């Protein structure tokens, strides 16, 4: 009613926040959608340089629908503060797991660094939170290279690492008949690209495995 009567959807309070800032911060996607249809500025910044999207990032369990709505109306999911922090950095600093996962679902980049060179996952001391966000983002600390005759041992190593909140990845594709084709290469390349460390299970059959040697060649 107020908007239909000519009220300014971008009116800013003493903090520089508009109604859209507050609707985003308290996780009201239906209000966010209404304000945007009435012409609210999705990129308006408050006096701390927060857009509505950045303002929402410190709140608990903000929905992916809210972030999607903001992005669909022109917000940048990886928008930054002057210090280089994105919304995902803010959510991780505030240890808001639900909001961080929603940001990932909305397209936030887990590898973006701020001006100090920190990624979002570097901005929390919670190893459990780091683990869950890395898993959700497909980012892995360790890739395990092994021969498929020792797959059960490789799985035990993966389980041990993940119990210690160390994300890991191993190739579960059966190499029989795939001939090292493009699907296999893409899968392995993705695993290597997203890993910080590669562990090789150097068993007797490892150096004679064409697949394992190709993995090492790709890693190099």
Fold of 1-137: 1.25.40
**pLDDT (tens digit per residue) in 40-67:** 999 999 999 999 999 999 999 999 999 9
Instruction: Report which of residues 216 and 179 the model is more confident about.
Output: 216
174 Rama class: left (phi>0) / alpha (psi -120 to 50) / beta? beta
Quickly state the pLDDT bin for 1 (edges 50, 70, 90): low
Provide the pLDDT for residue 169: 86
**pLDDT (tens digit per residue) in 190-204:** 777 778 888 999 999
- Looking from the CA of 103 toward its CB, the CA atoms found within 13 Å total 33
141: CB partners within 8 A, 6+ apart: 134, 161, 166, 167, 168, 195, 196, 197
What is the C-alpha to C-alpha distance for residues 50 and 17, in angstroms, rounded to an integer? 9
**pLDDT (tens digit per residue) in 102-143:** 999 999 999 999 999 999 999 999 999 999 999 999 888 999
Q: Is the pLDDT of residue 17 over 90?
A: yes
Query: Is 141 within 8 Å of 134 (Cβ atoms)?
Result: yes
Q: Is the pLDDT of residue 171 over 90?
A: no
What is the C-alpha to C-alpha distance for residues 165 and 184, in angstroms, rounded to an integer? 27
Q: Is the pLDDT of residue 39 over 90?
A: yes
Q: Is the pLDDT of residue 207 over 60?
A: yes
Instruction: Report which of residues 213 and 66 the model is more confident about.
Output: 66
Give the domain ranges of the chain: 1-137, 138-220
Query: Is 124 within 8 Å of 171 (Cβ atoms)?
Result: no
| Residue 198 CB burial class (10 angstroms; 0-12, 13-18, ≥19) | middle
Neighbours of 141 (CB within 10 A): 18
* The domain over range 138-220 is classified in CATH as 3.40.50.10140: yes
pTM of the predicted model over 0.75? yes
- Could you identify the residue written with the tokens 């290279």? 145
């Amino acid at each position: 009613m107020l908007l239909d009567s000519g009220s300014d959807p971008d009116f800013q309070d003493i903090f520089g926040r508009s109604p859209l800032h507050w609707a985003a911060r308290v996780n009201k996607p239906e209000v966010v959608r209404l304000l945007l249809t009435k012409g609210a500025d999705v990129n308006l910044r408050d006096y701390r340089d927060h857009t509505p999207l950045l303002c929402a990032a410190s709140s608990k369990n903000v929905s992916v629908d809210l972030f999607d709505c903001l992005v669909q109306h022109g917000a940048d999911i990886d928008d930054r503060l002057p210090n280089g922090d994105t919304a995902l950095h803010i959510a991780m600093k505030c240890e808001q797991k639900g909001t961080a996962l929603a940001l990932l679902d909305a397209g936030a980049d887990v590898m973006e660094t701020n001006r100090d060179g920190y990624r979002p996952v570097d901005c929390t001391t919670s190893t459990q939170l780091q683990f869950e966000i890395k898993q959700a983002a497909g980012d892995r600390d360790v890739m395990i290279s092994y021969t498929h005759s020792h797959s059960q041992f490789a799985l035990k190593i993966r389980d041990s690492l993940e119990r210690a909140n160390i994300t890991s990845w191993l190739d579960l594709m059966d190499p029989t008949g795939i001939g090292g084709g493009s699907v296999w290469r893409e899968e392995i390349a993705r695993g290597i690209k997203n890993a910080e460390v590669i562990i090789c299970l150097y068993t007797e059959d490892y150096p004679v495995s064409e697949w394992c040697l190709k993995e090492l060649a790709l890693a190099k």
